[in-house]
C-alpha cells in the first residue's frame, strides 16, 4: 500500500489502491481496484479520482470520483471508458467553482458524451464507442451524483445499505414496471442491454441526486460485473466490517470466486471527517450558567489515552461503520487486549446497543481455547465497550485463497478444532449462525479462534428480529438450506456451515457455484453439492462421506451434534460408508428466461389489446345508434 499526497494532475491508476486524504470540510479516503475478471480478454472498466492541490481551491471546487464501464459490444469499450473519465476530470477542472454542482455535472456529461460521439463521426470506419458513467462531486457537506448506465453507487451508513442510482437497462426497466424482481434481474441475460449510455447519441440525459454526507459514510461505486454476483447484504457486510484497504479486494475476489463473466471494478470513498461549516455562537443562558460544551465530531481515541484509568490505547486496529477496534494495554492485568468501542452517535441507538450488549454477553459465557476470549470490563465502565484477547494472524479465508486445496490432514485438523469449539458453544445454548472462513482466525502460534458473534443467538436471550437476506442471515456460500428459507436454525445449522467449509478446504472449490448468490441459495435448497471426489479425486471416501453427512439438506439427517462430527474427524475409521455420493440430487436450475421475456410479450400484446377494445367500443356505439 502506497500513500500519496494529492496533486492537481494525478490520476488514480486502475488495479492499485491509493488512499487520498482531503483536509477542510470533507476529508475523504479513496480506494480503487479493477480486474478484467476470469473470462474477458481485456479490462473495459476505468475509474478516476481528482482533487485540487491548493487548499483554497479544494474548499471552493471540491473533489470528483468517477467510474465507467465501456460497452464491449461496440469493440472499443476500454478506450471509451478511459476517454470518458479523463474528459470528465478535465471538464471538472475547467468549470468555474462558482457554478452550481448540477450545472457542472451537465457540462461534464455533455463533454464526455461528445468526445465519444465525435470520435465515431470523425472516423466512419471506426466502431462506435459507448460507456456507462457514474460521477460524484464531493463539495462542502454534499455529494452531488450524476449517473448514466448500469454502474451503481451505494451508500453504507450505520450498517444499512442504500442504492443511490437506478439501472438504465432492460432489466432496470422491468424492475421499475414490477415485471421482474431484483433477484431475477441479476440472473437475466437482458441485464447487459442498456437503455441509456454515454456516446451513442449527440444528446445525453443523466440522473441527478444530492446526498448530505455524514461522518464515516462509505460510498461504493461499482460495475455490474461485481454487484450482479453478490447481494446487497454481502456488499454492506464487506464495506461496513472490513478495514478500508481490504474492502475492494474482498468484493472483487468474492465476485471472481462466484464466476463473474465480466470486468469488475470497485471504488470506495470513505468520509473520514465532516467539519462544521461554521462555529455556532453559544447560547447566552448556557454561557451564564457555565455549561457551554464544545461539540465535535472527533470521538476517536488516540494512542496514550487511558480509558477508565485502566486501558491504555496503543493503536487503532480497524474501523467499521459502527465501531472501532483498538489495541490497548490492560494496566491492571498487565497484558494487551483488543477493545471494540461503538461510535458515540450509535450508543443511544436501541437496536444497535441491544446487539452490542448481546455480543458481549454471549462472548463472556463462552470459555474455550478455540473461541475468542472476552474479558470482564472494568466495573466502573464509563461507556459501552467490549474487551477481548488481542490476536495476531490471518483469517482462514486468506489462507484458503492462497492454498487450494488444503492437505487433507490439515483440513481435518482445522475442522476438528472448530467442531470442538462448536460443541462447547452449543452446550452453552449458543448458535453462531454465520460460520465462515472470514470468521476464523489462524493465529501466529498455530492456534485458531472462532470470532464475530454479532448475529449469534443464545436460546435464553431476548429474541431480536431480522428481515430479509442481510448479513444477519448468514453468508450465501455457507448458509444452511433452512436459513435460505428464512428459518433461524439451530446447532445443526452451524454443522452444515462447517461441512461447507471443509468441502472448500479439501476441493479448492465452493460447494455451490452459480451466476449470482440468489441462484447459489436456490441450488442448496433444491439439490446437493457435487461429490467432493468428483472435484478432487485425492479426497478419501471417508472424508467425502463425512462432508455429505454434515451437508444434508434435511437437518434431521445431519450430524445431530458437533461432538459426533468431531469424533469422526479425529478418527476416520468411525465413518460408515453409506454411499451418499450415489444419491446426490442435482439442483434444479433457476431460470429467469420467462420473467425476462414478459416485457417483450406484454409490449407486443398491448397494442393488440388496445385495438381490440377500441374496435368493441366502436361496434357498441354503432349498435346503440341503430
> pLDDT tens digit string along 595-618?
444 544 555 566 677 767 776 767
* The pLDDT value given to residue 278: 47
* The pLDDT value given to residue 295: 38
Query: Please, what is the average pLDDT of the chain?
Result: 81
* The pLDDT value given to residue 381: 85
Per-residue pLDDT band at 18 (split at 50, 70, 90): very low
Kind and range of the H or E element at 66?
A: strand 63-70
Per-residue pLDDT band at 322 (split at 50, 70, 90): confident
Rounded to an integer, what distance in angstroms lies between the CA atom of residue 468 and that of residue 234?
Answer: 12
Helix %, strand %, coil % of the chain (to 5): 40, 20, 40
Percent of the chain at pLDDT > 70 equals 76
Domains (range + CATH), the chain: 26-164+194-274 (3.60.40.10), 309-389 (3.30.200.20), 393-583 (1.10.510.10)
User: Are the C-beta atoms of 148 and 168 separated by less than 8 Å?
Assistant: yes
pLDDT tens digits, residue range 443-498? 998 899 998 876 666 555 443 333 333 433 456 789 899 988 877 789 999 999 99
- Mean pLDDT is lowest, of 144-158, 231-245, 350-364, 392-406, for 350-364
pLDDT tens digits, residue range 73-131? 556 889 999 999 999 999 999 999 999 999 999 999 999 999 998 876 666 656 678 99
Per-residue pLDDT band at 26 (split at 50, 70, 90): confident
Choice between 140 and 565, residue whose per-residue pLDDT is larger:
565
> Residue 371 carries which DSSP code?
B
C-alpha cell at 178: 414490477
* The pLDDT value given to residue 123: 62
* The pLDDT value given to residue 383: 85
* The pLDDT value given to residue 613: 72
User: Are the C-beta atoms of 372 and 388 separated by less than 8 Å?
Assistant: yes
* The pLDDT value given to residue 13: 38
C-alpha cell at 496: 452444515
Highest average pLDDT, of 55-59, 276-280, 314-318, comes from 314-318
* The pLDDT value given to residue 181: 64
Longest pairwise C-alpha distance within the chain: 104
Rounded to an integer, what distance in angstroms lies between the CA atom of residue 400 and that of residue 111?
Answer: 46
Give me the phi and psi of 99, to 5 degrees please. Answer: -70, 150
Residue 291 reports pLDDT greater than 80: no
pLDDT tens digits, residue range 331-362? 999 999 999 988 776 666 666 777 788 888 88
Rounded to an integer, what distance in angstroms lies between the CA atom of residue 598 and that of residue 138?
Answer: 40
pTM: 0.64
Beta strands 207-212 and 142-148, pairing class: antiparallel
Per-residue pLDDT band at 396 (split at 50, 70, 90): very high
C-alpha cell at 610: 388496445
The mean pLDDT of 558-577, rounded to a whole number, is 96
* The pLDDT value given to residue 459: 53
* The pLDDT value given to residue 7: 33
Per-residue pLDDT band at 144 (split at 50, 70, 90): very high
* The pLDDT value given to residue 611: 67
The mean pLDDT of 256-261, rounded to a whole number, is 87
The mean pLDDT of 16-40, rounded to a whole number, is 73
Rounded to an integer, what distance in angstroms lies between the CA atom of residue 185 and that of residue 303?
Answer: 48
Amino acid at each position: 500500500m502506497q500513500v500519496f499526497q494529492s496533486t492537481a494532475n494525478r490520476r488514480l491508476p486502475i488495479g492499485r489502491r491509493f488512499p487520498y486524504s482531503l483536509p477542510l470540510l470533507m476529508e475523504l479516503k479513496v480506494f480503487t481496484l479493477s480486474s478484467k475478471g476470469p473470462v474477458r480478454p481485456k479490462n473495459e472498466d476505468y475509474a478516476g479520482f481528482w482533487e485540487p492541490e491548493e487548499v483554497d481551491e479544494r474548499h471552493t471546487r471540491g473533489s470528483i470520483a468517477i467510474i465507467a464501464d465501456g460497452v464491449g459490444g461496440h469493440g472499443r469499450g476500454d478506450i471509451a471508458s478511459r476517454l470518458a473519465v479523463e474528459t470528465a476530470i478535465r471538464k471538472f477542472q475547467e468549470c468555474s467553482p462558482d457554478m452550481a454542482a448540477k450545472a457542472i455535472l451537465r457540462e461534464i456529461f455533455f463533454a464526455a458524451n461528445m468526445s465519444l460521439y465525435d470520435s465515431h463521426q470523425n472516423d466512419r470506419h471506426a466502431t462506435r464507442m459507448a460507456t456507462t458513467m457514474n460521477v460524484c462531486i464531493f463539495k462542502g457537506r454534499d455529494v452531488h451524483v450524476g449517473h448514466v448506465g448500469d454502474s451503481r453507487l451505494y451508500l453504507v451508513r450505520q450498517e444499512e445499505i442504500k442504492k443511490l442510482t437506478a439501472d438504465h437497462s432492460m432489466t432496470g426497466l422491468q424492475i421499475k414496471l414490477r415485471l421482474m424482481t431484483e433477484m431475477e434481474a441479476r440472473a437475466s441475460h437482458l441485464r447487459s442491454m442498456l437503455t441509456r449510455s454515454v456516446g451513442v447519441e449527440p444528446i445525453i440525459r443523466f440522473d441527478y441526486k444530492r446526498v448530505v454526507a455524514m461522518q464515516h459514510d462509505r460510498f461504493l461505486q461499482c460495475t455490474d460485473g461485481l454487484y450482479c454476483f453478490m447481494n446487497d447484504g454481502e456488499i454492506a457486510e464487506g464495506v461496513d466490517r472490513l478495514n478500508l484497504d481490504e474492502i475492494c479486494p474482498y468484493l472483487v475476489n468474492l465476485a471472481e470466486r462466484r464466476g463473474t463473466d465480466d470486468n469488475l471494478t470497485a471504488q470506495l470513498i470513505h468520509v473520514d471527517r465532516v467539519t462544521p461549516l461554521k462555529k455556532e455562537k453559544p447560547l447566552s443562558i448556557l454561557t451564564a450558567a457555565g455549561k457551554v460544551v464544545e461539540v465535535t465530531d472527533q470521538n476517536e481515541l488516540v494512542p496514550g489515552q487511558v480509558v477508565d484509568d485502566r486501558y491504555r490505547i496503543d493503536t487503532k486496529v480497524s474501523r467499521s461503520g459502527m465501531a472501532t477496534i483498538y489495541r490497548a494495554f490492560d494496566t491492571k492485568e498487565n497484558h494487551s487486549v483488543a477493545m471494540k468501542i461503538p461510535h458515540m452517535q450509535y450508543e443511544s441507538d436501541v437496536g444497535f446497543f441491544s446487539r452490542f450488549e448481546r455480543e458481549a454477553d454471549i462472548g463472556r459465557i463462552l470459555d474455550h481455547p478455540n473461541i475468542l476470549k472476552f474479558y470482564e470490563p472494568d466495573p466502573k465502565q464509563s461507556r459501552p465497550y467490549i474487551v477481548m484477547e488481542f490476536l495476531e494472524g490471518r483469517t482462514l479465508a486468506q489462507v484458503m485463497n492462497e492454498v487450494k486445496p488444503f492437505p487433507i490432514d490439515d483440513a481435518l485438523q482445522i475442522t476438528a478444532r472448530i467442531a470442538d469449539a462448536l460443541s462447547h458453544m452449543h452446550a452453552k445454548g449458543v448458535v453462531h449462525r454465520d460460520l465462515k472462513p472470514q470468521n476464523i482466525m489462524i493465529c501466529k502460534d498455530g492456534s485458531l479462534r472462532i470470532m464475530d458473534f454479532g448475529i449469534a443467538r443464545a436460546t435464553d436471550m431476548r429474541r431480536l428480529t431480522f428481515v430479509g437476506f442481510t448479513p444477519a442471515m448468514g453468508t450465501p456460500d455457507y448458509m444452511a438450506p433452512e436459513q435460505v428459507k428464512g428459518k433461524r436454525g439451530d446447532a445443526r445449522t452451524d454443522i452444515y456451515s462447517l461441512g461447507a467449509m471443509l468441502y472448500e478446504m479439501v476441493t479448492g472449490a465452493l460447494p455451490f457455484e452459480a451466476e449470482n448468490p440468489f441462484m447459489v441459495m436456490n441450488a442448496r435448497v433444491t439439490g446437493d453439492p457435487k461429490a467432493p471426489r468428483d472435484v478432487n479425486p485425492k479426497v478419501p471416501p471417508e472424508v467425502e462421506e463425512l462432508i455429505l453427512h454434515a451437508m444434508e439438506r434435511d437437518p434431521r439427517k445431519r450430524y445431530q451434534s458437533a461432538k459426533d462430527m468431531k469424533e469422526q474427524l479425529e478418527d476416520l475409521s468411525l465413518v460408515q460408508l453409506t454411499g451418499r455420493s450415489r444419491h446426490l440430487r442435482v439442483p434444479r436450475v433457476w431460470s429467469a428466461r420467462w420473467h425476462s421475456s414478459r416485457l417483450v410479450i406484454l409490449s407486443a400484446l398491448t397494442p393488440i389489446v388496445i385495438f381490440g377494445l377500441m374496435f368493441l367500443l366502436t361496434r357498441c356505439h354503432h349498435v346503440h345508434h341503430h
